[in-house]
Amino acid sequence: MADRKSKSTGKGASPAAPKRKAKAAPPPKAEASARSRAAVARQAKPDLAAVRTQIDGIDREIQALIAERALWAHQVGKAKGKLAAAIDYYRPEREAQVLRRVVDRNDGPLSDEVLVRLFREIMSACLAQQEPLKIGYLGPEGTFSQQAVQKHFGHSARGLPLVSIEEVFDEVAAGNADFGVVPVENSGQGTIQSTLDMFLTSPLKICGEVELRVHQYLLSRTGHIEDIERVYSHGMSLAQCKNWLRHNLPGVHKEAVSSNAEAVRRAKKSDDAAAIAGENAAHVYGMQVVAGPIEDRSDNTTRFLVIGRASFPPSGNDRTSLMVSIRDQPGALYRILEPLARRNISMNRIESRPAHGALWQYAFFIDVEGHVDESPLKDALAEIDDFAGDVHVLGSYPVAVP
């Protein structure tokens, strides 16, 4: 395996290119790659030292390419002109496109999810060359919200743990955080009403969504299930593990607290208490895993929204969240939905919440496919606007990549 450093010729790069100039690598030939994979698979008992030499060579190439990519990403920064801060360089639509291509190219053996995670980390590190993004989330450390931040923005972003969903909105609106990540719904438990209600008055935009597979673990100081007399967790997590708790800890006292991390903090104080939280919290707080995963549904997933102060262009596969307040007249909701249906625009979700300041009036939260700057959604919205009341676009954003 050749060392890429010796391959870099510097020819053909623009004057503004990085010092160690990149020669565009030829796209890997699918056939050759399939042949070499087959050759690897045929080796019944490969020689360990020889295999490690192969891996060392590949690592050298990967490292050189990552460094080269980082230099080019820095060039992108310069191409965008002199900007004030990291947030000005962040491009969620471009990141989504890069990740979708990673998924399209993937033919194993690693899963899409694993490859996307690796590429997100690379982009996160590339962006942090300017300055790390600061992301507010519902803390403390060790919550699923923190995991959602890391999944979406990578580990080079700086997490800012905050005490409530309201505070996440406030800190982003005040400019103390670049973006915020807030939970909005769980596959089994439904909507997190407090998040939706914030949009009734907040000027912030939805800039992205994150889907996080949520695995719950029972954690305690001793690690022995027979010691447990009390279980703490966030109400949502207790609900997600209801059947497991009924079968495995019947008669044990369950108590809902403000977050899973708070539950772990309490459980850490005595041997007869336990907490339900993510496995990550066991490492953060030095607890033993008693059992897990213990969620009742194996597809237990929480969807988070990324909130920010700006809107971004289309990525090619986008979703738009709308907040609509209808006039009090017959068929008003139908007249909002009809222009969407007529244009074959899929509606992913509709939810009503009591509107602020008006008794028995409701705001409808509607998620549809498409971006507000593109037809057919743009045309449908123009038509709805004409008669239905207030249509407020909460944001158009890339559909979550796994």
* Chain residues in the site for ligand PRE (CB under 6 A): 73, 76, 89-91, 94-95, 98, 123, 126-127
Shortest distance in whole angstroms from residue 182 CB to ligand PRE: 20
* Of 202, 179, 81, 186, residue with least CA distance to 133: 179
Please name which of 226, 374, 356, 363 lies closest in space to residue 312, comparing C-alpha atoms. 374
Q: Report the nearest approach of ligand PRE to the CB of residue 131 (Å).
A: 12
Residue with tokens 């295999």: 51
Burial of residue 310, with CB atoms counted within 10 A of its CB: 0-12 exposed, 13-18 middle, 19 or more buried: middle
- Residue (81 or 108) nearer to ligand PRE, CB: 81
By C-beta, is 123 or 184 nearer to ligand PRE?
123
Contact partners, residue 60, CB within 8 Å, separation at least 6: 1, 3, 4
CB 153 → ligand PRE: shortest distance, Å? 9
Q: Nearest Cα to 384, choosing from 335, 313, 318, 331? A: 335
Compare residues 119 and 169 and give the one whose CB is closer to ligand PRE.
119
CB-nearer residue toward ligand PRE: 71 or 252 = 71
Q: Measure Cα distances from 89 to 69, 308, 319, 357, 394 in Å.
A: 16, 14, 22, 39, 22
Instruction: Tell me how far, at minimum, the Cβ of 80 lies from ligand PRE, in Å.
Output: 7
Closest CB 122 distance from ligand PRE, rounded Å: 7
- CB of 65 or CB of 98, closer to ligand PRE: 98
Angstrom distance (rounded) from CA 325 to CA 353:
10
> b/e string for 209-230 if b means 16 or more Cβ within 10 A?
bbbbbbbbbbbbbeeeeeebeb
Which residue has its beta carbon closest to ligand PRE? Answer: 126
Q: How far is the CB of 154 from ligand PRE (least distance, A)?
A: 10
Residue 5 C-beta: closest distance to ligand PRE, Å = 21
Question: Residues with Cβ < 8 Å from 315, sequence gap 6 or more?
Answer: 92, 93, 94, 96, 97, 371, 398
**CB-nearer residue toward ligand PRE: 90 or 179:** 90
Smaller CB separation from ligand PRE, 89 or 169: 89
Residues 317, 100 contacting (CB under 8 angstroms): yes
Q: Name the minimum Å distance from CB 3 to ligand PRE.
A: 24
Measured from the CB atom, is 124 or 216 closer to ligand PRE?
124
Contact residues for 323 (Cβ-Cβ < 8 A; gap 6+): 199, 200, 363, 364, 365, 366, 391, 392, 394
Q: Which helix (H) or strand (E) holds 170?
A: helix 165-173
